[in-house]
Amino acid sequence: MIAKEKNTQLIKQEAQRLGFDTCGIALAEQLDDDARRLEAWLQKGYQGKMQYMANHFELRTDPRKLVPGAKSVITLLLNYFPQEEQKTYTPNIAKYAFGTDYHYVIKDKLNELLSFIGDNIGEVNGRGFVDSAPVLERSWAVRSGLGWIGKNANLLTKHSGSFLFIATLITDLELIVDAPFATDHCGTCTRCIDACPTQAIVGPAEVDATKCISYLTIELKDALIPSEFHDKMDNWMFGCDICQDVCPWNRFAKPNMEPAFTPIPEILNLSQQQWEEMSEDVFRKTFKNSPLARPKWKGIQRNIGFIKS
């Protein structure tokens, strides 16, 4: 028990040193309830054309299939709330995309944490994930005592709201687990549901992705966004923060301290006309390490044309 406590403390201290805001730990086990909810969500077709959401179902619901012999799931939160805002004349871009792509930033931190564990605790089998693998990171965050799932299906915390990236480290190291977060603090509030211009939040903690502006502007690869969403995009060119911006818990959001998330000046300042006139070459050079590279120049041009029409 002494070794488990010491190792747990070492890992949480190192996570803080690496810049993570919070670290929680849960027992690696099958997520039966989450498996049922995910299956029901998929059966409704709410994943749209995100076929990867249906792939590797068993891996998503049992971390021991991702990391053989896994005993602990370490969940880490990293604040991305920006200090600066976009100018009023710019097309809207989700706050998480203001700076360097978080995948690069967090993967580096996870690798450092794994190296630290190897150097200070001993050889372990572990893998780090940042929403690019079949891991139900929000469920693990709740099980690790970090927060609850809000009606907008985002993880909410009492100390800093929801502008947080979630990272997961699955390891065969036995650690002291935290108590699950058992309370829903949304109460009767429905601000996120009421504010969504496309009515994508179809129930508490249930989102129809095919109606979500983030899905439409990033995940959907079609040449055109469905015409039914004309006049409902609310000037969003990449992603959407509406359901987070209206959430009362985000009054506690504080500017992040991560240098890599410093906003790219063009994101804060370019007008719609300047985006329209940007060449593909300039786009690639400017946003090569940005989340905006995901839909590529063609996707961004499609989105601009839609919010303009």
User: How confident is the model over 267-282, as a mean pLDDT?
Assistant: 97
Query: CA-to-CA distance for 91 and 292, rounded, in angstroms?
Result: 13
Helices 102-120 & 2-17 angle (0-180, nearest 10): 140
pLDDT band at 54 (very low <50, low <70, confident <90, very high): confident
pLDDT surpassing 80 at residue 21: yes
Q: Distance from CA of residue 95 to its chain's centroid?
A: 11
Residue-level pLDDT at 275: 97
- Domain residue ranges in the chain: 2-171, 191-248+263-308
The three-state secondary structure class of 22 is: strand
Residue-level pLDDT at 309: 55
Which is higher by pLDDT, 54 or 143? Answer: 143
Mean pLDDT, rounded, of the chain: 95
Q: 166 - beta bridge partners?
A: 77
Query: CA-to-CA distance for 51 and 131, rounded, in angstroms?
Result: 15
The per-residue pLDDT for range 58-99, each reduced to its tens digit, is: 777 899 998 999 999 999 999 999 999 999 999 999 999 999
pLDDT surpassing 90 at residue 38: no
Query: CA-to-CA distance for 82 and 20, rounded, in angstroms?
Result: 16
Residue-level pLDDT at 267: 98
The per-residue pLDDT for range 131-185, each reduced to its tens digit, is: 866 789 999 999 999 999 999 999 999 999 999 999 999 999 999 999 999 999 9
| Contacts of residue 78, Cβ cutoff 8 Å, sequence gap at least 6 | 19, 20, 21, 102, 105, 106, 109, 164, 165, 167, 256, 258
Residue-level pLDDT at 284: 98
Residue-level pLDDT at 55: 77
| C-beta atoms surrounding 249 within 10 Å | 21
Residue-level pLDDT at 1: 62
pLDDT surpassing 80 at residue 123: yes
206 contacts 41 by C-beta, under 8 angstroms: yes
Residue-level pLDDT at 151: 98
pLDDT band at 294 (very low <50, low <70, confident <90, very high): very high
Q: What is the pTM of this model?
A: 0.95
Judged by average pLDDT, the poorest of 105-114, 116-125, 131-140, 190-199 is 131-140
User: How confident is the model over 118-124, as a mean pLDDT?
Assistant: 93
Q: Which residues of 73-100 are buried (b: 16+ CB within 10 A; e: fewer)?
A: bbbbbbbbbbeeebeeebbbbbbbbbbb
Work out the percent of the chain whose per-residue pLDDT is above 70.
99
| C-beta atoms surrounding 193 within 10 Å | 17
pLDDT surpassing 60 at residue 257: yes
Query: CA-to-CA distance for 271 and 91, rounded, in angstroms?
Result: 7
Which residues are marked as active site? 131
Q: Are strands 126-129 and 92-93 parallel, antiparallel or unpaired?
A: unpaired
Range 207-214 contact pairs with CB under 8 angstroms and sequence separation of 24 or more: 207/46, 207/152, 207/153, 208/44, 208/46, 209/46, 209/47, 209/48, 209/50, 210/45, 210/46, 210/48, 212/240, 213/239, 213/240, 213/242, 214/94, 214/239, 214/240
Residue-level pLDDT at 194: 98
